[in-house]
Structure 1
Amino acid sequence: MAAGLVSEINEEFLVCQICYNDFDRPKILPCLHTFCQPCLEKLFAAQADRNLSCPTCRQELYLPPHGVQGLKDNFLVSKLRDVVTKPGRPPANAQDVTICRVCSTGTGATFYCVDCREYLCQVCTDAHRRLKLTRAHNIVATGNSSPVMADRGDNNTSMCTRHGEINKFHCDTCHLVICLHCVVTAHKEHRYVEIEEVAEREKKNVRRLLPVARGIAFLQQAKLNEMHSLKQKWDARVDQTVSTVEARAKLMIDAIQELKQAKISHIQALYAASKKELVSAVQAAEENLSSAKSFVQFAESMDDNGTPMEVFTQARDLTGRLQRYIDNDNKGKVDVSSSLMDIQFSSTVTEGAEELDRLFGSLSIRAPMPEPWPTLPTIPSETPYETPKTVAKPSRTLNPTGTARLSTALGKRGSGDGEFDWAASVFVNNEGFIIATDVRNKRLQVMDEENLYGTINLGFEPWDVACKDNGDLLVTGDGHSIHVLDNQGKEKETINVEGFREKDKPSRGIAVDRLGRIIVSIGWQVFVLLPDGTPVHTLASSSHQLFGNQLRLTTNSDSQVIVSDWRNDIIKVFGQNGEFVKEFGLYGSGDGYFDYPTSVHTDDHNNIIVADSKNHRVSQFSKDGTFVRHLLSRDNGLWHPQGVAIIPDGKLVVSDRSENSCVKVYTID
């Protein structure tokens, strides 16, 4: 087994990964990676502080007071190099015969001294063990057996620097290896054990953690393989998408070129139809002009130079001709403007660009659906894990076949009592009271199906509201914090969310799952917190490439998180541990399509209810994202639905951004 292990040692384990040479005074870092002492000293000299980043894992490490020299030596690496790769490596099987390098008898070597790097016969080996200078050397057998230590005493290659004897004990008080003289002198009052005992004790700790490390290594390798696969798929998808865009662009360019030619041909056809008539009109006009000029010239000449007889004889004839010319000119006058149409081409650049962008197509950016990851192994512990208590919620079920009718319409646009300036969301607490966020008026309004009970004035614009299992309200909208209010509307505490990326975006969507955890969105990030605000994790695809920056969310009975992403016109579902599960929806107005989906809600059967604002409707989907029906539409008096919730008696509450009423209650029967 040992021989097999030695044969499988990776060459990378035996050379420094900085200089790629054999180790020179190998030093082991706290992260368990080993490098040459000179290489580490060069790295440390370039650092501004005492921290050192491991070149392999990039972990930030703090060096001991003596710097690199204070790090532990890695003797194991040195000895493995001697055994595995140095000249004179022990033969791997009995058929390989090596002559003893010490004596001149030509006897076959049966042992190998790691310290001297020499092959020894049995006689020289016995002498090696007797000499004081070499008796502590590490000697391994080279026969059919695996390389092993020649005897128990040879395992103890560590020598006491004070007494020159083998260190056979471990001082638990000082955490040092010591020899027998040290035991009876400097460490006589200390607690000590034999080195074998402490080694066995440490081995148990290593063995306890080894399965965990192997499991983590296995999962990390699987994850890396999946990442490589995803990268290849992503590269292929990007190339495919780019090709699709280029093909679409070529198609549209060709279509525009054809449209241009059609427009020009139409213009030229219109011109050709009128050109002949226009040419005839021009010729007639030129002839009439010539005649008119001739008559004027003759008349002026006769008037200036003609004799009375000439005037008398020519005037009557000239006057008649002139009258006939005038009459003919009036009768044959060509209306050129009636034969020529006013041709113009107009286009609004901005509107044209927007329409062209819509016709060209849009990118649908979605999160990939990776294979579910197995659970990471955990370190064995005697501390039992206590399952979190679930939050009890009142029954909320919609009539599966009923149609909607308006039951109550509350409020109107304004700032007075019972008036709203943007009711962005609605929430129904465990007692059945409706709580609406009055954003611009910086307050919450509490009501039932018929009456307004009161307001809770705030110093910020509230975006969303949820309820903890003890009845406390959670309100977002004030920077990166969550305000916690008691059931009287008084503030109890503020939970500050850490780790946000978009500093200018306030907390927005909020919900509480069955485990009592708080889920809140800030910009394109979605955070999962414990009830006291301790962060648990963020959702798996919380990146600006996958989310918009105004997210609304809810949870279902499986503690899944359903996120409404209005920018991408899509609904995304995540598991209890933050992993991506599915998504559904695209931009459009058909069944299952969205145009600015705002609030999202679930009923007791995990049906998903979506307020589809710009489509002027509220739609129902099954748990798996299949479209079921449109619960409400413009025919039900809906304009721009913002928030949606279900009252325990099965009625649907919607906040509508309209002029007439802001909170509407619908009966589904």
Structure 2
Amino acid sequence: MAAKFPDDDTASVCSGVSALSALSVLSDDMINCLICTEPFQNPKVLPCHHTFCGPCLEKYLRSYQESGDDSAKTFPCPICRQSVALPELGLEGQFQDARIEEIQGLVAKISTHPKKIHCDVCKYKKRDISAKDHCTNCSINYCEHCSHDHHQHNLFQNHSVIPVTELENAALKCEVHTAENVRYYCATCMSPLCTVCAVSDHQGHNTMELHTALGSRKNVIETKIHSMSEKVMKFEEFLMQLEDVASIQEAATKKTKLEIERHVNGLIAQLHARKQVLLDDLEKTHVAQKKSLTLEKENCTFQLANMKSLWKFAAKLTEPSQSLQLLVMHGDLTKMVDSINNAPAPNLPKELAMMSMFVPKEHMSVGEIQKCQLSSDLMKRIARVGEVSNGFSMESPRGMSPTPQYVAQYMEPMTIKWQNPRLCWKIDKLGHKIGEINEAYDVTISPNGTVITAEWLNQRLQVFDSTGFSKDILGQNQIQPWGVTLTREGNLAVTDEKDRTVKVLTPSGTFVVGWKKLTFGWPRGITINSTGQYIVTDTQHGKHTVSIHLPDGQCIRSFGSQGSGNEQFHWPRYVTVDHRDRILVSDSSNHCVKVFDPTGQYMYKFGSVGNGDGQMKHPRGICVDPNDNIIVADQDNNRVTLYSPDGKFMRHILQIQRPWGVAISEGGLLAVTQKPALSLYKVFDPIP
């Protein structure tokens, strides 16, 4: 509440009462500065009757002039914002009031007058009565009447009661005479004294009352505390500055995010426009080539028909029954046959032998994050941006659910035509050099046909292009990979047996992230669902589990144990997900494949031990085609088999010696690893 001075009538009434009575009507706002909340120093009273310390008001004026118009002739009151004329000669001698001296005198008396102590019993009866005594047993203050009642009560007969004036010293007991209270202080020995000590041991010393000694020392400490006020103010200002910088940086981050999104969205729009131009040009070229090919086919068909007709007619004339006819037409027939024989052979026009191919370019530069100094102009500009973007909603990561919500993704079935497998290429040279292979347990295929295999014994990933040429070696001797899969960002996630964890590498081999070491016992298979969750199998003895993780490694679900039950596993080495995010696990030593929903709840299983159709022996790798048909590497039956999405046997795709990992692309390329080899087959063609 703003401090208001009493009017003249009130002042005249107050003049007739004691100083203490006048002080009792003063509020903190009337004796303390409204800016620093400390007792006034060189007080200044504005026309609106709000009072401030002179230094505080000067500082406020400087801050106002620096942030506003230097030519302004007025300034607003810090409390009520009323306009006040700006003094031309500074604050010295300005904004004085005759009643300031009276207030200062009252404040001085407050500092020296003892604080009034109220009766605790009367307080609850809503009576404002001063206390006289204090019971050290009850720890309550009593007025004279309540003290009498206290003594009359049988329960309090043995309580110790002292005057409230001695309350400050009541808790101080003499260290020598423990039953006596400390009442004096020896300045010679610098020690507190009880009465016995003062009489017996400190005769002739410089002794004084304890409250006198405490008062002088309190004054010294209060003076020093007062000198700290300026430093406290500086720290408070610095804290406010830190808060301002934090808010500016928050606003700058929001703005930068918006700029990144706008820029990237613009690039995406340009890419889509460029894509459409390329597709339109390709379509025009294709239509023109198709038209030219049609004309060539029609011309060739016509000439071929004429040649066949003449050929048959000439052959007929060579028969004995047509001898006379041959003699008659010999000249004309010879000319016609010679014209055909001398005509040039058909040749494909050069323009029709051309193909339109797309050559991609890599490493498109989108932009970068740069740091800049927070200048005053920049801070003002960013502050305005923060005000404009105040309505921009950004959720705190702490407020988000730790489990991404599963959303089933429906995909139109793709029409595909399975064919007899055609071997595209095979790598079977055992070794550790580039192009050689050893202990290839798992494999994955990128959309452009690049094949990446996890070589456990060579401790690396090896990348092959669509022709079987070794393009790159990744993570050499830094990982011992068993499983490998592609992330949604195009990176490579591997289960690393060396550190018993999961690591993520970029296509160039740079490590992006690595989970905590020893997260798993024996990590094996790995896959990623449509929400970006990682699914990993663990075949540690006695464990045999499947777990679901966030990209940072936090485990949100784990299921399974060692055994042969529906929700148990025995060596679950490989795992994959279909387009509905169902989790498929090849349960090796249980000789089956088990299917779970996206949350890990058991659905069904298929397969049993044997070598017949629909049976398996120690299945290994598993993947799904574009229609969610399931492909299983049936290791000990030396084959790769195709099952329907509900687990019905469809056909055997390959007869191959002890297959391990399998991966298939939407274009019909099937990659298969054997421990000493890697093969790529063409197994189906998509039908548009």
- What's the TM-score, normalizing by structure 2? 0.38
- What's the TM-score, normalizing by structure 1? 0.39
Q: Which has the larger radius of gyration?
A: 2
